[in-house]
Structure 1
Amino acid sequence: MPHSSSPANDQATARPTPVQRAGGRFGLERPRRGRQPGPGRFLVAAVVAILGSLAACAAIVAAGTAIFPATAGYEHFRFLDYAKLTVPGVALASLAWLAVTLYTPRARLLFGWLTVVVTVGGLAPDLWILYRGAPPAAVLILVVMHLALAAVTYPALVLIAPQRLEPRAPRS
Protein backbone atom coordinates (compact mmCIF):
# COMPACT_ATOMS: atom_id res chain seq x y z
CA MET A 1 0.00 0.00 0.00
CA PRO A 2 1.48 3.38 -0.96
CA HIS A 3 2.48 5.78 1.77
CA SER A 4 0.08 8.66 2.05
CA SER A 5 1.42 12.09 2.76
CA SER A 6 -0.28 14.43 5.15
CA PRO A 7 0.50 18.10 5.71
CA ALA A 8 1.60 17.29 9.26
CA ASN A 9 4.08 14.65 8.02
CA ASP A 10 5.37 16.96 5.26
CA GLN A 11 6.06 19.73 7.78
CA ALA A 12 7.74 17.37 10.22
CA THR A 13 10.15 16.03 7.59
CA ALA A 14 10.71 19.25 5.67
CA ARG A 15 14.29 20.49 5.66
CA PRO A 16 14.82 23.87 7.31
CA THR A 17 15.40 26.79 5.00
CA PRO A 18 18.64 28.80 5.22
CA VAL A 19 16.73 31.55 7.02
CA GLN A 20 15.39 29.05 9.56
CA ARG A 21 18.90 27.60 10.07
CA ALA A 22 20.32 31.10 10.61
CA GLY A 23 17.48 31.88 13.01
CA GLY A 24 18.32 28.76 14.99
CA ARG A 25 22.02 29.59 15.04
CA PHE A 26 21.43 33.05 16.45
CA GLY A 27 18.42 32.09 18.58
CA LEU A 28 16.07 34.44 16.75
CA GLU A 29 12.59 34.54 18.16
CA ARG A 30 9.62 36.80 18.51
CA PRO A 31 10.41 40.11 20.20
CA ARG A 32 10.72 39.89 23.97
CA ARG A 33 11.03 43.09 25.90
CA GLY A 34 13.05 43.07 29.09
CA ARG A 35 16.31 41.73 27.65
CA GLN A 36 17.31 45.11 26.31
CA PRO A 37 19.94 47.22 28.09
CA GLY A 38 18.72 49.79 30.57
CA PRO A 39 18.05 53.21 29.02
CA GLY A 40 20.73 54.98 31.05
CA ARG A 41 23.43 52.48 30.20
CA PHE A 42 22.35 52.50 26.56
CA LEU A 43 22.64 56.29 26.31
CA VAL A 44 26.06 56.25 27.95
CA ALA A 45 27.21 53.48 25.61
CA ALA A 46 25.92 55.32 22.53
CA VAL A 47 27.64 58.56 23.55
CA VAL A 48 30.89 56.72 24.32
CA ALA A 49 30.68 54.93 20.94
CA ILE A 50 30.10 58.20 19.07
CA LEU A 51 32.74 60.25 20.89
CA GLY A 52 35.21 57.36 20.90
CA SER A 53 34.72 56.84 17.17
CA LEU A 54 35.26 60.53 16.44
CA ALA A 55 38.40 60.56 18.62
CA ALA A 56 39.72 57.41 16.94
CA CYS A 57 39.15 58.90 13.48
CA ALA A 58 40.86 62.13 14.47
CA ALA A 59 43.86 60.19 15.82
CA ILE A 60 44.04 58.05 12.68
CA VAL A 61 43.93 61.11 10.43
CA ALA A 62 46.71 62.75 12.48
CA ALA A 63 48.85 59.62 12.42
CA GLY A 64 48.08 58.85 8.79
CA THR A 65 48.96 62.31 7.53
CA ALA A 66 52.17 62.20 9.60
CA ILE A 67 53.12 58.86 8.02
CA PHE A 68 51.95 59.89 4.54
CA PRO A 69 52.51 63.69 4.36
CA ALA A 70 51.18 63.82 0.79
CA THR A 71 47.71 63.04 2.16
CA ALA A 72 47.59 66.16 4.36
CA GLY A 73 44.63 68.30 3.37
CA TYR A 74 42.77 65.42 1.71
CA GLU A 75 39.09 66.41 1.61
CA HIS A 76 37.79 63.34 3.47
CA PHE A 77 40.15 64.02 6.38
CA ARG A 78 38.38 67.19 7.48
CA PHE A 79 36.65 66.65 10.82
CA LEU A 80 33.23 67.79 9.62
CA ASP A 81 33.51 65.61 6.52
CA TYR A 82 33.94 62.35 8.43
CA ALA A 83 31.86 63.43 11.45
CA LYS A 84 28.74 63.89 9.31
CA LEU A 85 29.01 60.21 8.35
CA THR A 86 30.39 58.83 11.62
CA VAL A 87 27.77 60.24 13.98
CA PRO A 88 24.69 58.96 12.13
CA GLY A 89 26.41 55.65 11.35
CA VAL A 90 27.32 54.96 14.97
CA ALA A 91 23.88 56.17 16.13
CA LEU A 92 22.26 53.66 13.74
CA ALA A 93 24.59 50.92 14.99
CA SER A 94 23.49 51.78 18.53
CA LEU A 95 19.84 51.43 17.57
CA ALA A 96 20.68 48.15 15.83
CA TRP A 97 22.11 46.89 19.14
CA LEU A 98 18.75 47.58 20.78
CA ALA A 99 16.91 45.78 17.98
CA VAL A 100 19.19 42.75 18.13
CA THR A 101 18.74 42.46 21.91
CA LEU A 102 15.00 42.41 21.33
CA TYR A 103 15.09 39.44 18.93
CA THR A 104 17.68 37.06 20.36
CA PRO A 105 19.00 36.04 23.75
CA ARG A 106 22.48 35.74 22.10
CA ALA A 107 22.69 39.31 20.88
CA ARG A 108 26.46 39.67 21.11
CA LEU A 109 27.01 36.88 18.57
CA LEU A 110 24.54 38.22 16.01
CA PHE A 111 25.62 41.83 16.55
CA GLY A 112 29.25 40.77 16.07
CA TRP A 113 28.42 39.20 12.70
CA LEU A 114 26.37 42.22 11.69
CA THR A 115 29.30 44.45 12.65
CA VAL A 116 31.61 42.46 10.37
CA VAL A 117 29.12 42.53 7.47
CA VAL A 118 28.43 46.27 7.79
CA THR A 119 32.13 47.08 8.17
CA VAL A 120 33.06 45.10 5.06
CA GLY A 121 30.16 46.73 3.19
CA GLY A 122 31.33 50.13 4.42
CA LEU A 123 34.60 49.61 2.59
CA ALA A 124 32.82 49.75 -0.78
CA PRO A 125 32.93 53.58 -1.00
CA ASP A 126 36.65 53.46 -0.19
CA LEU A 127 37.24 51.02 -3.02
CA TRP A 128 35.12 53.17 -5.30
CA ILE A 129 37.12 56.32 -4.68
CA LEU A 130 40.34 54.32 -5.09
CA TYR A 131 39.04 53.12 -8.45
CA ARG A 132 38.15 56.72 -9.35
CA GLY A 133 41.74 57.83 -8.72
CA ALA A 134 42.04 58.71 -5.03
CA PRO A 135 45.56 58.40 -3.64
CA PRO A 136 46.08 54.83 -2.30
CA ALA A 137 47.65 56.11 0.94
CA ALA A 138 44.57 58.26 1.62
CA VAL A 139 42.27 55.33 0.94
CA LEU A 140 44.33 53.17 3.29
CA ILE A 141 43.78 55.75 6.03
CA LEU A 142 40.03 55.73 5.31
CA VAL A 143 39.97 51.92 5.53
CA VAL A 144 41.72 52.07 8.90
CA MET A 145 39.15 54.65 10.03
CA HIS A 146 36.31 52.28 9.06
CA LEU A 147 37.92 49.42 10.98
CA ALA A 148 38.39 51.69 13.99
CA LEU A 149 34.69 52.55 14.01
CA ALA A 150 33.83 48.87 14.42
CA ALA A 151 36.61 48.36 16.99
CA VAL A 152 35.25 51.21 19.12
CA THR A 153 31.50 50.85 18.61
CA TYR A 154 31.01 47.11 19.16
CA PRO A 155 32.72 46.89 22.57
CA ALA A 156 31.26 50.20 23.73
CA LEU A 157 27.74 48.95 23.12
CA VAL A 158 28.02 45.34 24.26
CA LEU A 159 30.17 46.03 27.33
CA ILE A 160 28.72 49.30 28.62
CA ALA A 161 25.10 48.42 27.78
CA PRO A 162 25.03 44.61 27.96
CA GLN A 163 21.97 42.60 27.16
CA ARG A 164 19.98 41.51 30.18
CA LEU A 165 19.95 37.76 30.50
CA GLU A 166 16.41 37.31 31.67
CA PRO A 167 13.39 39.51 31.13
CA ARG A 168 12.32 41.43 34.19
CA ALA A 169 9.30 40.12 35.97
CA PRO A 170 6.31 42.47 35.78
CA ARG A 171 5.83 44.60 38.86
CA SER A 172 2.79 43.91 40.93
Structure 2
Amino acid sequence: MYYRLAELVHLDFAPRHRQPNGSAVVVATIVALAGSLIVDAILVALGEALWPGLKGYVHFRFSDYAKLTVIGVLIACAAWPITTRITSMPRWMFVRMAVAVTLVLYLPDLYLLVLGDPGKAVLVLMAMHLAIALVTYNALVRIAPVRTVRTAADRLAALRVPR
Protein backbone atom coordinates (compact mmCIF):
# COMPACT_ATOMS: atom_id res chain seq x y z
CA MET A 1 0.00 0.00 0.00
CA TYR A 2 2.87 2.38 0.78
CA TYR A 3 4.31 1.88 -2.70
CA ARG A 4 0.98 2.59 -4.38
CA LEU A 5 0.55 5.77 -2.35
CA ALA A 6 4.14 6.82 -3.11
CA GLU A 7 3.53 6.17 -6.79
CA LEU A 8 0.27 8.11 -6.69
CA VAL A 9 1.97 11.23 -5.30
CA HIS A 10 5.18 10.74 -7.34
CA LEU A 11 7.28 10.20 -4.23
CA ASP A 12 10.06 8.38 -6.03
CA PHE A 13 13.31 9.70 -4.54
CA ALA A 14 14.70 9.60 -8.08
CA PRO A 15 14.89 13.11 -9.43
CA ARG A 16 16.69 13.42 -12.76
CA HIS A 17 17.13 17.13 -12.22
CA ARG A 18 19.65 19.11 -10.23
CA GLN A 19 18.64 21.00 -7.11
CA PRO A 20 17.67 24.66 -7.28
CA ASN A 21 20.58 27.01 -6.82
CA GLY A 22 20.96 27.83 -3.11
CA SER A 23 21.29 31.56 -3.66
CA ALA A 24 18.20 31.49 -5.89
CA VAL A 25 16.26 29.83 -3.05
CA VAL A 26 17.37 32.63 -0.72
CA VAL A 27 16.29 35.29 -3.23
CA ALA A 28 12.98 33.49 -3.81
CA THR A 29 12.43 33.35 -0.05
CA ILE A 30 13.01 37.10 0.29
CA VAL A 31 10.68 37.80 -2.64
CA ALA A 32 8.03 35.45 -1.19
CA LEU A 33 8.27 37.12 2.24
CA ALA A 34 8.11 40.67 0.90
CA GLY A 35 5.43 39.84 -1.67
CA SER A 36 3.26 38.02 0.85
CA LEU A 37 3.45 40.82 3.40
CA ILE A 38 2.66 43.41 0.75
CA VAL A 39 -0.32 41.40 -0.55
CA ASP A 40 -1.53 40.90 3.03
CA ALA A 41 -1.40 44.64 3.67
CA ILE A 42 -3.24 45.35 0.42
CA LEU A 43 -5.96 42.84 1.25
CA VAL A 44 -6.39 44.27 4.75
CA ALA A 45 -6.62 47.81 3.33
CA LEU A 46 -9.08 46.64 0.70
CA GLY A 47 -11.18 44.81 3.28
CA GLU A 48 -11.29 47.86 5.54
CA ALA A 49 -12.14 50.12 2.59
CA LEU A 50 -14.96 47.86 1.42
CA TRP A 51 -16.28 47.23 4.92
CA PRO A 52 -15.37 50.15 7.21
CA GLY A 53 -16.77 48.28 10.21
CA LEU A 54 -13.73 45.99 10.02
CA LYS A 55 -11.28 48.76 10.93
CA GLY A 56 -9.47 47.78 14.09
CA TYR A 57 -10.23 44.06 13.70
CA VAL A 58 -7.62 42.31 15.85
CA HIS A 59 -6.34 39.97 13.14
CA PHE A 60 -5.84 42.87 10.73
CA ARG A 61 -3.00 44.30 12.82
CA PHE A 62 0.32 44.01 11.00
CA SER A 63 1.96 42.46 14.05
CA ASP A 64 -0.75 39.80 14.17
CA TYR A 65 -0.68 38.60 10.58
CA ALA A 66 2.98 39.35 9.80
CA LYS A 67 4.46 36.86 12.25
CA LEU A 68 2.16 34.08 11.02
CA THR A 69 2.87 34.98 7.40
CA VAL A 70 6.63 34.92 7.96
CA ILE A 71 6.47 31.54 9.72
CA GLY A 72 4.30 30.02 6.98
CA VAL A 73 6.39 31.38 4.13
CA LEU A 74 9.64 30.21 5.72
CA ILE A 75 8.21 26.70 6.16
CA ALA A 76 7.08 26.64 2.52
CA CYS A 77 10.45 27.91 1.32
CA ALA A 78 12.22 25.20 3.31
CA ALA A 79 9.84 22.62 1.83
CA TRP A 80 10.71 23.50 -1.78
CA PRO A 81 14.31 22.17 -1.80
CA ILE A 82 13.15 19.09 0.11
CA THR A 83 10.40 18.49 -2.43
CA THR A 84 12.88 18.78 -5.29
CA ARG A 85 14.96 16.00 -3.66
CA ILE A 86 12.15 13.50 -3.08
CA THR A 87 10.34 13.56 -6.41
CA SER A 88 11.04 13.65 -10.10
CA MET A 89 7.99 15.92 -10.46
CA PRO A 90 8.59 18.69 -7.88
CA ARG A 91 6.25 21.34 -9.30
CA TRP A 92 3.45 18.80 -9.60
CA MET A 93 3.89 17.75 -5.96
CA PHE A 94 4.53 21.25 -4.61
CA VAL A 95 1.39 22.79 -6.08
CA ARG A 96 -0.69 20.00 -4.55
CA MET A 97 1.02 20.47 -1.21
CA ALA A 98 0.31 24.22 -1.40
CA VAL A 99 -3.38 23.55 -2.06
CA ALA A 100 -3.57 21.05 0.80
CA VAL A 101 -1.82 23.38 3.25
CA THR A 102 -4.02 26.30 2.23
CA LEU A 103 -7.15 24.22 2.85
CA VAL A 104 -5.82 23.17 6.26
CA LEU A 105 -5.06 26.82 7.09
CA TYR A 106 -8.68 27.66 6.35
CA LEU A 107 -9.70 25.62 9.41
CA PRO A 108 -8.61 28.26 11.98
CA ASP A 109 -10.36 30.88 9.85
CA LEU A 110 -13.56 28.87 9.94
CA TYR A 111 -13.13 28.43 13.68
CA LEU A 112 -12.99 32.24 14.02
CA LEU A 113 -16.29 32.32 12.16
CA VAL A 114 -17.76 29.78 14.61
CA LEU A 115 -16.53 31.95 17.50
CA GLY A 116 -18.52 34.85 16.09
CA ASP A 117 -15.91 36.88 14.22
CA PRO A 118 -17.35 38.89 11.32
CA GLY A 119 -17.78 36.81 8.16
CA LYS A 120 -16.31 39.56 5.98
CA ALA A 121 -13.17 39.67 8.13
CA VAL A 122 -12.80 35.89 7.90
CA LEU A 123 -13.23 36.16 4.12
CA VAL A 124 -10.32 38.60 4.00
CA LEU A 125 -8.20 36.25 6.13
CA MET A 126 -8.99 33.38 3.77
CA ALA A 127 -8.05 35.56 0.80
CA MET A 128 -4.77 36.33 2.56
CA HIS A 129 -4.00 32.61 2.91
CA LEU A 130 -4.68 32.04 -0.77
CA ALA A 131 -2.61 35.05 -1.82
CA ILE A 132 0.34 33.95 0.33
CA ALA A 133 0.23 30.50 -1.27
CA LEU A 134 0.15 31.95 -4.77
CA VAL A 135 2.96 34.42 -4.14
CA THR A 136 5.19 31.88 -2.40
CA TYR A 137 4.63 29.09 -4.92
CA ASN A 138 5.35 31.35 -7.88
CA ALA A 139 8.41 32.93 -6.29
CA LEU A 140 9.94 29.53 -5.55
CA VAL A 141 9.24 27.70 -8.80
CA ARG A 142 10.13 30.68 -11.00
CA ILE A 143 13.10 32.20 -9.18
CA ALA A 144 14.56 28.93 -7.85
CA PRO A 145 13.55 26.31 -10.42
CA VAL A 146 15.04 22.86 -10.59
CA ARG A 147 17.89 22.66 -13.04
CA THR A 148 18.00 20.08 -15.78
CA VAL A 149 20.69 17.44 -15.82
CA ARG A 150 22.99 17.62 -18.77
CA THR A 151 23.54 14.16 -20.11
CA ALA A 152 26.62 13.08 -22.01
CA ALA A 153 24.60 13.38 -25.25
CA ASP A 154 23.68 16.98 -24.32
CA ARG A 155 27.34 17.85 -23.72
CA LEU A 156 28.36 16.32 -27.06
CA ALA A 157 25.60 18.16 -28.90
CA ALA A 158 26.77 21.43 -27.36
CA LEU A 159 30.28 20.82 -28.67
CA ARG A 160 29.23 20.17 -32.25
CA VAL A 161 29.75 22.99 -34.65
CA PRO A 162 26.73 23.73 -36.84
CA ARG A 163 27.41 23.24 -40.56
**TM-score grouping bracket, smaller chain normalisation:** 0.7 to 0.9
* Preserved CA contact (<8 Å) 1:35 1:167: no
Structure 1 26/168 Cα, relative in aligned 2: closer, same or farther at 3 Å?
farther
* Residues 1-30 of structure 1, C-alpha deviations (whole Å, 9 max, x = no match): xxxxxxxxxxxxxxxx2x323322443233
TM-score, normalised via structure 1 length: 0.82
- Percent identity for Structure 1 against Structure 2: 46
Structure 2: which amino acid aligns with 1:149? I
* Preserved CA contact (<8 Å) 1:36 1:163: yes
Structure 2: which amino acid aligns with 1:72? K
Gaps in structure 1 of 5+ consecutive residues:
1-16
Structure 2: which amino acid aligns with 1:100? T
TM-score, normalised via structure 2 length: 0.87
- Structure with higher Rg: it is 1
2:106 paired residue number:
123
1:4-153 equivalences under 5 Å are 17=1, 19-30=2-13, 35-153=18-136
Q: CA RMSD in A?
A: 2.0
Structure with the larger helix share: 2
The 2-side partners of 1:39 and 1:100 are apart by 14
Gaps in structure 2 of 5+ consecutive residues:
153-163
Deviation, structure 1 residue 166:
2.3
2:140 paired residue number:
157
Structure 2: which amino acid aligns with 1:49? A
How many aligned residue pairs are there?
152
